Structure 1
Amino acid sequence: MDHLKDVISAMSNGVLDSLRGFVLIFSLDREIELQRSRKRESKNKQINRRVKSNTADSSKEKQEDPRILHRTLQCSLLNGGVFCLSIFAFNGVVLPLIEALLTFSFSFGGQLNAAQWVWSWTSPVLTATFSALWILPLFVLSKFVNCFWFQDIADAAYKYSRGRPQLLPSISKMIADMLFSMVIQALFLLQAMIMGLLPIAVFNALLSMLHMCLLYSLYSFEYRWFNEGWELPKRLTHIENHWPYFFGFGLPLAILTSLPSSTLVSGCVFSVLFPFFIISGNEAQPTTRVRNYPLRLFSPVVALANTIFNRTIGRHSTRSS
């Protein structure tokens, strides 16, 4: 019973910590600016003692890092205001208007059946054209831009709360860690989808939701852990050992992204909300008391990824040597 209480408490703490970013984001820029001003004042005092002519260089520090709220609003405008709104406008305004005009033009001749037949092939053509010429290019562009904006938000928040990042010791190790992490995340997402297809009512949905919550927690905390120099095995083991907290942390985002029926709209919702969870992950203090029953959900995809890399990159490197 005590263990169950600890699990529920850890989940509750995870949910509460995940929502902190929605509050912190409006005060974080002000706190960062105050921190920078104190550093500039201290630096200027030291410079004035030595060389007064160099004080102008320190005034440029204010504009080096992007504002967190500004970057978040940019994400919301691109993903919610442009991408998502254009989908709703096309499906909710443009298509019904064209259908109404088509029906109206055929109604004079009493050819409503002909109007329905024309619309049956016109609607798919218009939808495919809109997707190919607008949705797909904008989707690729938004994903590319979001990668840089998410990183800017994470780096600015980390520098404020923890100072200079402690990255992995070598560039090659950093690149290998990032590539392997991308493969693990893709395979784990596939594993979550497979869990949702299991022929077990309710249980399959719960398993799939558990996977998505842990994956979204990994997304949110990975920027912080990467800046702290944590390698991928340590990040995954930490989530598996303390899964109740990370299940609760990823639960709000998993629920909100599961509400839209369209995968594209769900991706828009994720991109709009994710900056807040990056900040929440950076400022959170994960509950680590509950670790009696670790869930090794990442172990299958790690084994599969190791097999893939050993049979491709490992074999290629052996032949080269």
Structure 2
Amino acid sequence: MLKQSAQLWLWGVRESLNVHRCIVFLVLDNSKTIGRAILRCLLLNGVILLGSILAWESTLAPAVHWLMRHVVSPCLGHFTARSAEVALQLAYQALWLLPVYLVTIFVSCGIYNDIARTAYTIKEQQLKGPQAVPVLRPKGQSPGGNGGLEDVAQEVYRVVLFCVFFAEVSTVGHLPYVGAVLNVLFLSWLYAYYCYDYKWGLQGVRLTERLAYFERRWAFFAGFGLPMALSTVLLSFYPGAAVLAILFPVYILVSCDSDVNAVHDRVVGKEGTSNLRHLPIFALAMWPTQRIVHLVTGGTGAASGATEPGGSAVRPR
């Protein structure tokens, strides 16, 4: 089991690095939606967000430091100059960098959705023929839902679950000795899920089925999300967020072209895949999520279908 898990992890890393698959989508996208979306993503996250970070670190911060050291410090003292320098840095982050970060993240979510929908359509037409018209769930409708309160509750549950899970990821990173390793591992799972969640949503897979599928293929997804996790932990917060936002469309395209089932069948065989050991990655986040959703929905029970990931009735790709 350990050997197979290591092999699946390596396959996950290998799949995530197959960035050449993006070229196929760009070539086959007659509407040029993917190309335009990637350019917008680069403009937002590369030019505006990352440019704002580099502008401070390369130009503004040295200028402020020189001004405080040679002008303010001789007149008002070193402590006052240093305090003013720190205050200006915090003001830049609070009044400019943080708003820019929040806006670019919000706008990028819509861009990622457009990329995923177009790539999914292209992939389905590759598999079923150019005349095939994939059935896509409407924007804003939760997969597997029938609309109404159940649909809203399932979407609320998904958002809350991953907010809670992200808080757990941030917490385990502060544990002594193993915190750094666990932080990378949990971030790898989180980013891998984000990538595949677009495709599973477009396939109409319910949240419970997605979670169960993910938790039975935890080794592969830990490997797939590793490059994204490293791109954030090896940099400070804002540069890491900007780099990840730039790279994320690439990983969405790779996940759309990736077949997780085929990898598992190759490593452990079809019978072995159905008997994979379940790793309850999201179990710790379930309880607080259920309590929060219960309060949000007024205890209607509409989200009860998303309380525990059990056996998946479908095989998402």
Q: TM-score with structure 1 length normalisation?
A: 0.78
CA contact (8 A) 2:68 2:85 kept: no
Alignment of 1:62-211 (within 5 A): 62=31, 67-105=33-71, 112=74, 114=76, 116-162=78-124, 163-165=134-136, 167-172=143-148, 173-199=150-176, 201=177, 203-211=178-186
Residue by residue, what CA displacement relative to the aligned partner does 1:199-219 show, whole Å, maximum 9, x if unpaired?
3x1x33222222111111110
2:207 corresponds to which residue? Answer: 232
Segment drifting more, 131-140 vs 243-252 = 131-140
> Is there any run of 5+ residues in structure 1 with no aligned partner, and where?
34-61
2:7 corresponds to which residue? Answer: 9
Segment drifting more, 153-162 vs 8-17 = 8-17
**1:82 Cα offset (Å):** 1.3
**1:302 Cα offset (Å):** 1.7
CA contact (8 A) 2:144 2:205 kept: yes
Percent identity for Structure 1 against Structure 2? 26
2:127 corresponds to which residue? Answer: none
Aligned amino acid, residue 219 of structure 1: Y
CA contact (8 A) 1:102 1:115 kept: no
Question: Equivalents in 2 of 1:85, 1:115: separation in Å?
Answer: 33
Question: Equivalents in 2 of 1:80, 1:255: separation in Å?
Answer: 18
Match of 1:278 among 228, 252, 257: 252
**Structure 1: 4+ residue segments shifted above 4 A:** 111-115
CA contact (8 A) 1:181 1:232 kept: yes
Greater radius of gyration (CA)? 1
- Root mean square deviation of aligned Cα: 2.4
2:22 corresponds to which residue? Answer: 25
> Is there any run of 5+ residues in structure 2 with no aligned partner, and where?
125-133, 138-142, 303-317
Q: TM-score with structure 2 length normalisation?
A: 0.79
1:304 corresponds to which residue? Answer: 288
- Number of paired residues? 277
Alpha carbons of structure 1 residues 257 and 102: separation in structure 2 relative to 1, 3 Å: closer
CA contact (8 A) 1:25 1:68 kept: no
**1:129 Cα offset (Å):** 2.7
Alpha carbons of structure 1 residues 312 and 146: separation in structure 2 relative to 1, 3 Å: closer
2:229 corresponds to which residue? Answer: 254
1:294 corresponds to which residue? Answer: 278
Question: Equivalents in 2 of 1:317, 1:181: separation in Å?
Answer: 15
Residue by residue, what CA displacement relative to the aligned partner does 1:219-238 show, whole Å, maximum 9, x if unpaired?
00000001111111111111
